[in-house]
Amino acid sequence: QTTDLDLGNVLSFSWFGRMEGMVFNDADADGRIDPSEVGIPEVPVNIRFRDGSLYQATVTDGSGEYGFAEVFPFFKWLVAEVDYARKKPTGLTAYVDYGGVLDPTDPANRDPGPWPSRISYTDYDGSTKYKLHPQPQNPNDPANAYGSTYARTQLDDGADTLLQAMHLFLGQKNMIDWGKVDYRAGENGGISGMVVYATTRAEDDPRNAAIEDWEPGIPRVQVALYRDHDDDGVIDDLNGDGQVTLADVDNYPLGWFDGSGAKGPEDIDHNGNGLFDSGDALNITHTDSWDDNQPSGCIQRLPAPVNGQQPNLCFDNFGTWNQIRPGVFDGGYIFLSYFPGGRYQYDRQPNPAKWEKQGLPPDTYIVAATPPPGYLVQREEDKNVDLGDQYVPSKLTATAPLPECVGDLHEVPNILSMLTSD
């Protein structure tokens, strides 16, 4: 005999974590949502692996909200990213799930700040519900601007809050609200981008090639910024030697560039004087490295020593649980400053950074990434996918012209190099 049995609502946890939040117009630039501040629609938000390859991507809806409903619990750090193309970042507020019961009587669930709570909402029956049980934050954390124990607000100083390292476990929810404002007159967002290992290319013209989701960034690559004021495709002569002078190159292991180490056999010394010379560069940087900027300050209880070794704070494992901490992925770079007249003037100064001027003036620039040993710049013949439909740009939307490639002339062979080793 069979009998129907109504089990009612059966609780089942999700096999995935959830990340959500809002990108909002932060009118008072305080990094948190005020009652009068509204969301910004159609802002891309990404989750990347630490090597810079893309894991998931979405855009904010009409109210500025976004959500990733299925974030796999990798037991390792991921990196959340908000778009940088349209507006100036002001800061972010992060809410980290501590797990446990969502008890409205628990004081830890009540937002002590003067701004509205982002983790509570009114249910259909009029009762107050909570999205997560907030992880108690460290009020003395340098990345906690207001010393809140409820949520961590990190204010922006350039582009510090475009990225956040994140640990997220199954059945849990983390939230990041990203603040942005319009650039003021005379301001801009500088020049930023990625240096990637281009494993795939289908475009006939390498100028049209875009970064594929699965292509990883390359850390510690030197990137130099040059001026091309007359827009002739040739680097301006800033050091006055009558010719184009490229900057010397400090390849990994780094140290020659900033004087903290000696020149190594992997480095490029154009004039052979043993000293790092900036040539005609306005500024020089290196691409971000996850390994060199690992998260710190995690809120966690470390387990007992394993085989006599104490696990490090923020280590990749189950015990790190849910976290949102400052972090970067491999391969990214940004220029927000320059050395007026050229960096060469300060190569021998004990503290060249004090001569650095914030903000790039409107001008034409040339960006040069020098491939480290074992890598080549993608060439015309470097094409390993030669089938499928040809890309046709949409005529419905206006698109900015792609920048011209500059540099030494290169003779293109008759045969494609299908392998990166060719």
Q: Please, which residues have CB within 8 angstroms of residue 93's CB and are 6 or more apart in sequence?
A: 31, 32, 33, 118, 151, 152, 153, 154, 176, 177, 179
Q: Please, which residues have CB within 8 angstroms of residue 3's CB and are 6 or more apart in sequence?
A: none
Is residue 419 very low, low, confident or very high in pLDDT (cuts 50, 70, 90)?
low
Q: Is-contact 381 416, C-beta < 8 A?
A: yes
Least confident of 20-29, 111-120, 283-292: 111-120
**pLDDT greater than 90 at residue 145:** yes
**pLDDT greater than 80 at residue 76:** yes
Q: Please, which residues have CB within 8 angstroms of residue 173's CB and are 6 or more apart in sequence?
A: 17, 18, 19, 20, 97, 131, 132
**pLDDT greater than 70 at residue 148:** yes
Q: Could you tell me the two tokens for 109?
A: 């669930």
pLDDT tens for residues 35-52? Answer: 899 999 999 999 999 999
pLDDT tens for residues 269-287? Answer: 999 999 999 999 999 999 9
In order of their start, the domains of the chain are 17-181 (2.60.40.10)
Query: How many Å apart are CA 146 and CA 141, to the nearest integer?
Result: 9
- Greater confidence (332 vs 380) lies with 332
Q: Please, which residues have CB within 8 angstroms of residue 178's CB and are 6 or more apart in sequence?
A: 21, 22, 23, 24, 43, 45, 82, 89, 92, 161
Q: According to the model, what pLDDT value does residue 112 have? A: 54
Q: Is-contact 320 94, C-beta < 8 A?
A: no
- What is the mean predicted confidence (pLDDT) over 145-163? 90
**253 cis-preceded (ω within 30 degrees of 0):** yes
Residue bearing tokens 């004039």: 271
- What is the mean predicted confidence (pLDDT) over 413-422? 75
Query: How many Å apart are CA 133 and CA 102, to the nearest integer?
Result: 6
- Greater confidence (213 vs 394) lies with 213
Is residue 169 very low, low, confident or very high in pLDDT (cuts 50, 70, 90)?
very high
Q: According to the model, what pLDDT value does residue 110 have? A: 58
Query: How many Å apart are CA 56 and CA 71, to the nearest integer?
Result: 8
**pLDDT greater than 90 at residue 216:** yes
pLDDT tens for residues 385-400? Answer: 877 777 677 777 666 7
Q: Could you tell me the two tokens for 115?
A: 């701004």
Query: How many Å apart are CA 58 and CA 43, to the nearest integer?
Result: 8
| Mean pLDDT score across all residues of the chain | 91
- Rounded to a whole number of angstroms, the distance between the first and last alpha carbons of the chain is 73
- What is the mean predicted confidence (pLDDT) over 57-75? 97
Burial of 13 (0-12, 13-18, 19+ CB in 10 A): exposed
Sign of CA dihedral 190, 196, 198, 202: negative
Query: How many Å apart are CA 54 and CA 314, to the nearest integer?
Result: 22
For residue 90, give the DSSP letter: E
Query: How many Å apart are CA 93 and CA 21, to the nearest integer?
Result: 9
- The DSSP-derived string for 235-267 is ----SSSSS--PPPB-PSSP-TTTTSS---TTS
- What is the mean predicted confidence (pLDDT) over 170-199? 95
Least confident of 230-239, 283-292, 379-388: 379-388
Q: According to the model, what pLDDT value does residue 108 have? A: 59
Q: According to the model, what pLDDT value does residue 21 have? A: 97
Q: Please, which residues have CB within 8 angstroms of residue 100's CB and are 6 or more apart in sequence?
A: 133
Q: According to the model, what pLDDT value does residue 221 have? A: 98
Q: According to the model, what pLDDT value does residue 111 have? A: 56
Q: According to the model, what pLDDT value does residue 304 have? A: 86
Edge to edge, the sheet with strand 44-48 lists 54-59, 44-48, 78-82, 163-167, 323-325
Percentage of the chain modeled with pLDDT above 70: 94
pLDDT tens for residues 56-65? Answer: 999 999 999 9
Q: According to the model, what pLDDT value does residue 385 have? A: 85
Q: According to the model, what pLDDT value does residue 72 have? A: 96
Edge to edge, the sheet with strand 65-71 lists 65-71, 17-25, 173-181, 88-95, 152-155
Query: How many Å apart are CA 119 and CA 148, to the nearest integer?
Result: 15
pLDDT tens for residues 93-138? Answer: 999 999 887 766 666 555 555 555 788 888 889 887 888 888 999 9
Closest CA to 298 of 146, 150, 141, 72: 141
Percentage of the chain modeled with pLDDT above 90: 67
Q: Please, which residues have CB within 8 angstroms of residue 255's CB and are 6 or more apart in sequence?
A: 261, 262
Q: According to the model, what pLDDT value does residue 313 have? A: 93
**pLDDT greater than 90 at residue 416:** no
